Structure formats: C-alpha cells, structure tokens
Amino acid sequence: MLDQYQRIQAEASHLYERYVPGGISYLQSATDPAEWMEIYRFADEPQYRQSLAAINADAEIGRLWSAFQALLDPAYPSLVEEFRPREWNNDRPIDER
C-alpha cells in the first residue's frame, strides 16, 4: 500500500506544482508510517483559495484523489485540511528555531 501511496503522491506532486507556487513538503510520522502530513506554501489566504479552486477543477487530480481515497484505512481518522498563516519571519528558513 505504501508503494501505491508514493506513486499517487509523485503523480500528484507534478500536477500540484502548477497550482502551489510556494512548494510542497511531505512528512511521514516517525511513530506511525501510515500517517503523513502534506504542507503546501502560499503567499496568503486568497492565493490559497484561488489555488484550491483550480486544484478541485483539475480532472487528473480528481482521478488521483479517488485512487488515494481507495487506499485509506477506515480505522484512521479522516483527513483534515486547513489554512494556517505563518507566524514567523518569512525570510527565516523553516528549520531555524
């Protein structure tokens, strides 16, 4: 199943590059390999909303979304999507504390 997820993720990443100007990061949980976090970077919430509308209208992304949902384990909680504004200096790298 992990191989299937990674294949879908790779295909989707190429498509998302059209819509996500700030880049995407994928993080896998160290304690649960089935748990992933995807971080998409946008300049602001309006750019996020505009990109989300374009993503939702893309038929190929819709196909990949359906394939992804077929892989989900019903024992895990549903997906959560939210916009969170940065609370740190935009010039500072993410890994700096």
- For the chain, what percent of residues have pLDDT higher than 90? 23
Tell me the average pLDDT across 9-30: 89
Question: Residue 76 and residue 15: Cα distance in Å, rounded?
Answer: 26
Query: pTM of the prediction?
Result: 0.67
Question: What pLDDT is stored for residue 77 in this prediction?
Answer: 62
Answer whether 73's CB lies under 8 Å from 34's CB.
Answer: yes
The count of other CB atoms within 10 Å of the CB of residue 54 is 12
Tokens of 73: 């384990």
Q: Which long-range contacts (CB under 8 A, 24 or more apart) does 41-47 make?
A: 42/83, 44/85, 45/83, 45/85, 47/21
Phi, psi of 12 (to 5 degrees): -65, -40
